[in-house]
Chains A and B, each alone.
Chain A
Amino acid sequence: MRLFDTMLLSIKNLWRRKLRSLLTIMGVMIGTCAIMIMLSLGIAMNRNFMEQVSQMGNIMQIQVYNYNQGGKTPDGKDIPPLDDAMVAKFAKLDGVEGATPIIDIYVKMMVGKYVGSVSIVGMNPEMFEMLDIPVSTGRPLQEGDTNQMVIGKDVIWNFYNPKSFRWEPAPQDLDFFKEKLTISWDMNYGEKYQSGGKSKNPVKPVQVEAVGLIEQMGSEYSWRILMPFETVKKYQKEIEKYNRQNGGSNGGGGIMFASPMYSSSGNNDGYNQVIVKAKNIDVVVDIMNQIKEFGYECYSPVQILESMQEQSAGLRQILLGIGIMSFVIAAIGIANTMYMSIYERTREIGIFKVIGARLKDIRRLFMFEAWWIGVFGGIMGILLSFFLSYLLNKFNVSLGGSVIWTPEGEKTLPSSYIPYWLPLAAMVFAPLASLLAGLLPSRRAMKLSVMKALRQE
């Protein structure tokens, strides 16, 4: 018997028992839909975690700190300095896109008539792209920049007018590009009240220039100012010199100094912080483990993501379990329908055998019936899933925190997400599982004895 004829005849047989076939198909539809929706909830959950964590910083980035400088690793080795050679070593690790040291200084800054304390991060121009720093107005730093800076928008919260009697914060629309910008290592710079008195060796403020703004709210860079790496390194040296000339470190003689953040001193023990960027999210943990072996501390938002995912894994498994259970019920429905129809059509099967149907033909005929049920049920299930997914998202039925803040404002995360592969997988899975359910009934039909079948009225 030709395959096409078998397929056609099996469809005809389904059509004969419209209501029963429809009910069975609906069973498969609901089973498919249950699995798809449950999966889509889990997938949306994971995606939302990812999005939430992305808000905390770039998830491909690993912050490496050398808190235990000069100490030993748990297995007793010396922790090597986090210097340029080490940074180069990081950059060569598998899956690493790049690595850059970070130096960070804390200085006093004036913007027009407003004064504030800011932290300045030294960073090479090429890192802007690698670290996905979102410069929204102006330009990122470029090769040849010296006293140019890119300013995070939230930095403005640190500024106020020292001349005013009342508390007068700097206006939010203060134009960094037009105002005169200066920085100083003297923490009394620009202040009305000079706490601790004038410094012995006053320092001349340095004039700087704003070239770009980071306006994305919540970004780790929106509270910082970025300047060329070499410039910040130079400033760091000057800060150390200034601090020495004016009597030791912070607060010593009541005088406040600017400080290189995190750095205990200007010795050659390397950097305190290095940023390593992974090529993709899957290797982040792996890279972190390799770096930890040197004895450094690592931090990445991926850790948060992982712990969120771990905590929700149980929930997702339960969801999938419910989905699979409903499909199993659907499969039992298929088997039941087919046993019924074989019982009803026993004589017909006998006739078929007498007039030349091979065993293979009989089995195929019933396997195809199961297959069609799976195909139709699968298609309907997929359509129903998209519809339900739409409703879930529209009415925001959620399994967790679903609203986040983005530069574009409040954003509602979807509670159900159907990736492109899910309907494809369903389209393969539903007919396959139906075939499995049809296996035993089809064998039964095939094995029916002709004589017994014909005798049945």
Chain B
Amino acid sequence: MSAIITLDNVYRVYRMGHEKIMAVNGISLEINEGEICCLKGPSGSGKSTLLHLMAGLDKPSKGSIHIGKTRIDTLNENQLAVFRQKYIGFIFQSYYLIPTLTALENVAIPLTFSGMPKSKRIKRAKELLEAVGLKDRMKHKPTEMSGGQQQRVSIARAFANNPKVIFADEPTGNLDTATTFEMMNLMTNLAKHFNQTLVIVTHDDEISGYASRIFMIRDGKIEKILNGRDQQDEKMDA
């Protein structure tokens, strides 16, 4: 298996007044194509910062980040935009849908940015909404949908451009347990189906079960790496 995400000795330092905060403190890791993995840790551990760095939303203070063969920490904002358009999908904790657009339009928005003609992108968005089980909610605005439904729309949106990597930042943080499992099943099934890589930030134990590897983050460092089975074992031990 080839690595799709490679981090080499990455640092991210914030300055707060005179204090330096090492949000990411020398992390190197590789994530393979088609892998589903978790970044897990307590709040303030730097896991979200790490995700943002991998997605090119933030720049490392030191070190290099490759996605595929592209080194993304040196791209400018325009190149990054195009790169995200083609290779990266996003799922957020609070969905981040555009409140004035319908479910269909929300899913079609990334396709609009990549310049797909209207008829094609509507067709694609419809297919995706069907795949996430929202066939009868296409014309609904986000405010007319439940949290689970909104997250389904945001999942459909993340998959719209058929990206190589999908980043999910606490995707189930706002959902109840039943919906959490539904959402995780949906995401992992879609990702597996299209051989996409899924990187999930969470502190939810239930989610860990879906991952092949779990990176335990603490104080900006990888504390340990568990594979899915280890996690299960740990639980049983406890």
Interface residues of chain A, those whose CB is within 8 Å of chain B, are 1-2, 5, 9, 12-13, 16, 347-348, 351-361, 450-451, 454
Contacts and interface: CB of A to CB of B under 8 A. Distances in A.
B109 A451 contact: no
Contacts of A13: 100
Interface stretch (B33-41, B74-82, B175-183, B212-220): B74-82
Nearest to B77: A359
B110 A451 contact: no
A9 B100 CA distance: 11
A2 B84 CA distance: 17
Interface in B102-139: 109-110, 112-115, 117-118
28 contacts: A1-B113, A1-B114, A1-B115, A2-B115, A2-B117, A5-B112, A5-B118, A9-B112, A351-B98, A352-B109, A352-B113, A353-B81, A354-B84, A354-B90, A354-B96, A355-B85, A355-B113, A356-B84, A356-B85, A356-B113, A356-B161, A358-B81, A359-B81, A361-B113, A450-B57, A451-B52, A454-B57, A454-B96
Contacts of B92: 454
6 closest A-B pairs by beta carbon, nearest first, are A356-B85, A358-B81, A356-B113, A355-B110, A351-B96, A357-B113
B30 interface: no
Contacts of B109: 352, 355
Contact of A355 (B52, B58, B82, B84): B84
Given A354-B84, A360-B78, A348 B113 contact: no
Interface string B141-185: 000000000000000010001000000000000000000000000
Nearest to A353: B81
Contacts of A1: 112-115
Nearest to B89: A355
B174 to A, nearest CB: 13
A348 B94 CA distance: 13
Q: Which of A1, A9, A356, A357 has the most CB of B within 10 A?
A: A356
Nearest to B114: A356
A354 B77 CA distance: 11
Given A347-B96, A357-B81, A358-B82, 12 more contacts: A1-B114, A9-B112, A12-B100, A351-B96, A354-B84, A355-B85, A355-B109, A356-B113, A357-B113, A359-B77, A361-B113, A451-B57
A359 B57 contact: no
B149 to A, nearest CB: 18
B67 to A, nearest CB: 15
A164 B232 CA distance: 139
Nearest to B97: A351
A358 B75 CA distance: 13
A451 B114 contact: no
A9 B101 CA distance: 10
A359 B96 CA distance: 19
Nearest to A354: B90
Nearest to B94: A457
Contacts of B90: 354-355
Given A1-B115, A5-B112, A9-B112, A359 B78 contact: yes
Nearest to A17: B100
A361 B115 CA distance: 11
Contacts of A16: 100
A347 B98 CA distance: 9
A145 to B, nearest CB: 78
Contacts of A359: 77-78, 81
A451 to B, nearest CB: 6
A356 B57 CA distance: 11
A12 B109 CA distance: 13
Nearest to A12: B100
Contacts of B115: 1-2
Given A5-B118, A451-B52, A358 B98 contact: no
A353 B36 CA distance: 25
Contacts of B85: 355-356, 358
A87 B57 CA distance: 84
Contacts of A358: 78, 81-82, 85, 113
A176 B224 CA distance: 123
B43 to A, nearest CB: 14
Nearest to B87: A356
Q: Which of B52, B110, B113, B161 has the most CB of A within 10 A?
A: B113
B81 to A, nearest CB: 4
Contacts of B114: 1, 356
